[in-house]
Chain A
């Protein structure tokens, strides 16, 4: 079983996001990048699949930050077998269409049985890479998946709808899956292990082809103006608790 996990780096959303001078993009150079959280789940599901059905897990990403090695080393420490990076003139914030095409070109040569990627990323302004990779490879795609079980050339998937309803699909491999959540929370890799792997690991380098382009142009980027804001309470937890209890009492919702 050849399992491929395409990954994407995204800005760390806990940082303050600043807009550039032209007002049409983020000030990417000022940002820290992290692995897309849904890709963490895709990697976990890939490693779980390998552990239950055997096979190899290859993680591949477009190096848009010059720092992808760190994410790849971490993936190897978590149980991936191989890592590859696509290099070229692809700056931070490279659009999804370009990343998907570069990834599809690389994955095509890896003859995958199943491709597991994050269902979405915080910077997917021009769409999610999973369905794009599937379209390029001529493979079926099912996303918003919370469980993948592979056996006998088929995958059984659980896809989430709203309100806790799920649909079960059975799909002939090869296919691309957009992972919402792995069967279990993504595992942790100790820093010492990652450091050790960083010393010895071999990362395949793939020269990227042409950029695809998003097909649309951002004219303006801005922070949303909130319609309102909470009235903020200062004070100790004790004082805040008193205020909350008072409001609950006013609503007639205190028992006794």
Chain B
């Protein structure tokens, strides 16, 4: 077991998140290099059937009513106990909302290093090499753990999901079901409910074209310029995180990791720098046109066409052209 690679399965509303499959596929490759197994760790209540689709070598399913919904305190307790008991070589978690609650705390509790924001993993002659994407996506850092065992948190989309999903030549893995290895009584964190996004607003995931704005819009008073263009195109204005955080547009308009994933035919990115958080939500668009005064903005690495002119001049000019 000392060479096993653990993968924390992530699920919400009875559905596994893609990151689970992405990590499972990578875990199998690494486990082969280490001479161990890829073990998916699934925490839940009556959720055993979720194990069927995970393409790992084995699934360790921990069943407890306290694990019915994600609870960072309960998850941390169980994972800390499993790590101590089974001593895996590597534990992979998502650098997701759930995974970000766990990795750094477990690192302290288990006394193991954590390498975060990982988008590259390799077993180099039996040794782990992990590459992190840091400083807003501007820098890659390739690191090796000082000891043998290590925790990593992986960015969504870093590895292909299909190599860790049952189907296409991958059979379901044997499932070992256990009760929680640690008491889950007296939790201080209580899950109350899930809150679904408010309906009623435009669904930006259904638009064929999007006018998307970022910090470059400058001020709330300029949003009108983007709205006029969107109206002329018969669509809506979407935005990167800073705009919705500022309350200039509702959360339902936010494109990105913590917002919505959009795949329109045309994505107009105006004044958006292209932080990893944003790129994750729009890189699948058919045609991306970016306008940003900073020629080095990462948005230009994913855009098909780009310009560095002032978006505040461009918006009204484009609205006129569109109106014909």
Contacts and interface: CB of A to CB of B under 8 A. Distances in A.
Interface string A209-249: 00001111111111110111111111111101111110110
A34 interface: no
Nearest to A127: B104
A164 interface: yes
Contact of A185 (B145, B245, B258, B318): B245
B132 A125 contact: yes
Contacts of A234: 307
B318 to A, nearest CB: 4
Interface stretch (B27-35, B38-46, B165-173, B287-295): B287-295
A140 interface: yes
B195 interface: yes
Interface in A85-105: 96-97, 100
Given A132-B107, A167-B69, A220-B142, A123 B135 contact: yes
Interface residues of B, number: 104
A199 interface: no
Interface of A: 11, 13, 16-17, 19, 26, 41, 96-97, 100, 119-120, 122-132, 134-136, 140-144, 156, 158-172, 175, 178, 180-181, 184-185, 213-224, 226-238, 240-245, 247-248, 251, 253-256
Contacts of B309: 235-237, 240
Interface stretch (B58-66, B84-92, B94-102): B94-102
B228 interface: no
Chain A binding surface SS class: mixed
B176 interface: no
B55 interface: no
A132 B100 CA distance: 11
B284 interface: no
B320 A126 contact: no
11 contacts: A122-B136, A130-B104, A169-B71, A170-B192, A185-B247, A221-B142, A222-B139, A224-B137, A232-B308, A233-B307, A244-B268
A208 to B, nearest CB: 17
B59 to A, nearest CB: 23
B202 interface: no
Contacts of A218: 141-143
Given A230-B306, A240-B309, A243-B305, A169 B191 contact: yes
A216 B113 contact: yes
Interface string B281-315: 00000111111000110101111111111100110
B217 to A, nearest CB: 14
Contacts of A129: 104
B323 to A, nearest CB: 8
B305 A247 contact: yes
A196 to B, nearest CB: 27
